[in-house]
Amino acid sequence: MAATSLICRECASTYPLEAQFVCTKCFGPLEVAYAPHPSAGDRDAIRRRIQAGPRSIWRYADFLPLEAGSPVGAGDFSSDGGLPAGGTPLVKADRLARRLGLREVWVKNDAANPTHSFKDRVVAVAAARAKELGFSTLACASTGNLAGAVAAAGAALGLPTYVFIPADLEEQKILSTGVYGANIVTVRGNYDDVNRLCTEIAGEREDWAFVNVNMRPYYAEGSKTLAYEIAEQLGWTAPDRIVAPIASGSLFTKIGKGFQEWIDLDLIDGVGGAAPKVPVMSGAQALGCNPVAAAFEAGQDVCRPVKPDTIAKSLAIGNPADGPYAIELARKTGGTITDVTDDEIKDGIRLLAETTGIFTETAGGVTTATLRKLAESGRIDPQERVVLVITGEGLKTLDVVRGTFEVTEIDPRFEQFENDVESRTEVPV
């Protein structure tokens, strides 16, 4: 599936495969168009080729927009190829499923990426393409996780990085970005202000590769690898439902695209004699930043921007550019896009941690709380096979779990242990 051009999603105008994200005729978003897979029709050959590839997103290089294909070969761990994104665990979360009254819940733990969020996937693709196009500086507008991913990718590849973030971002995210030697610019404003500034800078400074602005068509394709990995880990099948967070809406829509591409290539088997289909897509937002959920629930196609006010800062995009496409996908698959409160987010973080041993950041709290809400309200059939997409690491938003549990302090005496600890401990059933 060699990339052939960039194509406008609105008016179908085509452009060469350069650093451009918008159609100059109608301002529509540009996407990568591909030639048919050279082995289309021979699914065993395609599967074998994937399985022989590296244990990272590069095993799916045939489906990604790079001229030279994978920057690393199987068994090549050279840092010159960038960070090894992807290959994250898919865990069958039986205790979580039982707690929610569901038969089968899987957790795709993308906090296991090199910089602890799914952003390593998209940055790997954007950075590799930026190198192919001859750029020497990486940049991004970020709510935090992307900043860390860009900074680390630049460190691995030897490229200087500039990251632009809202000034009020969680300290852990700033610290875990600065350590890589990135140039950090904090902007007095919210993410939408940062994004507006970066869109302007990307237009005026064409020698910078802004991974999520002028490199966006390539960047966004990296999210498809989440769908590919899930399908491969489930033995070349698709789950019945995906629950994933929505910020800009890009990840959500690209997961749908990844499954569709593989269904079209006959790589995914149906379950129980049924034809394979794109999973029901359930999107998750925080109530304090819910422009996509609000539009979906109101039956509208266009998202009205909001001013974010939520602890889920990595999802705090008030003007989500891919919102209309996320709504379209949820509707087409019979899915949902709903929102949860900050308290529900904190409970979601605890629920996932206590039942799976996976500690996620606020975005994962949003996703887990959404799964719980859908299960408790009966909007999920208990027989479904559900995959919960956990996109980031709890250590980056530590502050929100403070005060959500108790600690017992005692003197170093056995009697105190007996009186203050043992007698008060409930034995789990």
Partner 1 sequence: MATVTVKIPTQLRDATGGEGSLQIDGDTVGGALEALFTAHPELRSRLADDDGNLRRFVNVYLDGEDIRFGDGVGTPVADRQELQILPAVAGGR
- Footprint of partner 1 (CB under 8 A): 9-10, 21-22, 24-31, 189, 192-193, 195-196, 199-200, 203-204, 206, 212-213, 216-217, 220, 248-250, 252-254, 256-257, 302, 304-305, 307, 319, 321-322, 324-326, 329
Minimum Å distance from CB 213 to partner 1?
5
| CB nearer partner 1, residue 156 or residue 280 | 280
| CB nearer partner 1, residue 22 or residue 374 | 22
Q: Is residue 393 classed exposed, middle or buried when 0-12, 13-18 and 19+ CB atoms within 10 A define those classes?
A: buried
| CB nearer partner 1, residue 254 or residue 373 | 254
Minimum Å distance from CB 265 to partner 1?
17
Phi and psi torsions of 241, nearest 5°: -145, 145
| CB nearer partner 1, residue 321 or residue 398 | 321
Q: Is residue 331 classed exposed, middle or buried when 0-12, 13-18 and 19+ CB atoms within 10 A define those classes?
A: middle
Minimum Å distance from CB 404 to partner 1?
34
Minimum Å distance from CB 315 to partner 1?
15
CA distances from 244 to 24, 223, 343 (A): 32, 12, 19
Minimum Å distance from CB 151 to partner 1?
20
| CB nearer partner 1, residue 23 or residue 156 | 23
Minimum Å distance from CB 21 to partner 1?
6
| CB nearer partner 1, residue 104 or residue 193 | 193
Minimum Å distance from CB 147 to partner 1?
16
| CB nearer partner 1, residue 274 or residue 302 | 302
Minimum Å distance from CB 427 to partner 1?
49
| CB nearer partner 1, residue 188 or residue 424 | 188
